[in-house]
Amino acid sequence: APNAKIVVGGSQITHSPTTKIPRAELVDIFVQGQGEEVLTAIVHAVTNQTSIRTMSVLPQITSQDIYPFNDFTTSRTFFSREDHIIPGEAMSFEFARGCIFKCSFCSYDLLNKKIGDYTKTKETMREELIHNYNEHGTVDYVITDDLINDSEDKINLLLDLTQSLPFQIHYSGYLRLDLLRRFPNTIPKLLDSGLIGCF
C-alpha cells in the first residue's frame, strides 16, 4: 500500500529522540502528546492531499502544541455500526488522563497533575456508557486510565457514576496495590463500582 501513511505516537515519541525508534525511516509522521486534533488534521491532509503543520521536515514531527486538544473533560467516544462492534462486546473506556504521581519509572504524559485534572465530567461519562449499552448492549469495560486509584476523589466519582446507571458495569484496569493497602476503604468502593479484575 504505497499511499498508506505510517503514523506513530505515544510516550516514547514524546520523550525520546525519533532516532531511537526502530525503523524510524519507515514512519511518515511522528505525533507528540495528545493526538485527537493531530490525527484529525492528518486524516484531512491525506484525504485532501495537502500537508500538515510540523515542527520539522525530516522526520515529520507534529504535536498537540500545533494542534491543541483542550476539551477532554467533555469528549465522548460513540461507536457506530461502521465500527463493527459485536453485541455485548467489552470496550475501552477513558475516565481520566494523567496521574497525580510522578514515579521515576513512568514516562507517560500529564504526570504530577492535580486531583480532578483531565477527568471527564460525570454527565459526559454517563452519556457515553448509556449510549454503549443502548446501541451495543455493552456492560464490560477496560478502563484505559494511567491509574484508576490515584485518589479517593476519583474512586468516589467512579462509584457515584456507576450507581447512577440503570445497569451494572464491570471493568478492569491498572491499580496500584500500595494505594489499596494505604487506603483500604477504597477497596469496597472499587468493587461496588464494578471492578472485576486489575493489573
Task: Determine the pLDDT at residue 59.
Answer: 81
The answer to whether 27 touches 59, Cβ cutoff 8 Å, is: yes
C-alpha distance from residue 127 to each of 43, 75, 135, 176 (Å)? 27, 11, 12, 28
By C-alpha distance, which of 80, 88, 74, 100 is closest to 154?
A: 100
Give the pLDDT confidence of 35-51 residue by residue, as tens digits: 788 888 999 998 998 98
Q: Which residue has the higher pLDDT, 73 or 18?
A: 73
The answer to whether 149 touches 184, Cβ cutoff 8 Å, is: no
By C-alpha distance, which of 119, 103, 120 is closest to 111?
A: 103
State the alpha helices, DSSP H only, in the chain: 11-15, 36-48, 122-136, 152-163, 177-182, 186-193
Report the predicted TM-score, pTM, of the whole model to 2 decimal places: 0.77
Task: Determine the pLDDT at residue 119.
Answer: 86
Q: Which residue has the higher pLDDT, 36 or 18?
A: 36
Which of these ranges, 55-69, 94-108, 184-198, has the smallest mean pLDDT? Answer: 94-108
Measured CA to CA, the distance from residue 37 to residue 14 in angstroms comes to 16
Give the pLDDT confidence of 79-118 residue by residue, as tens digits: 887 889 999 899 999 988 877 777 777 766 666 567 776 7
Rounded-to-5 percentages of helix, strand, coil across the chain: 35, 15, 50
Amino acid at 70: N
- 2: preceding bond cis by omega (within 30 degrees): no
pLDDT tops 90 at residue 152:
yes
Range among 26-30, 78-82, 129-133 with highest mean pLDDT value? 129-133
pLDDT tops 90 at residue 62:
no
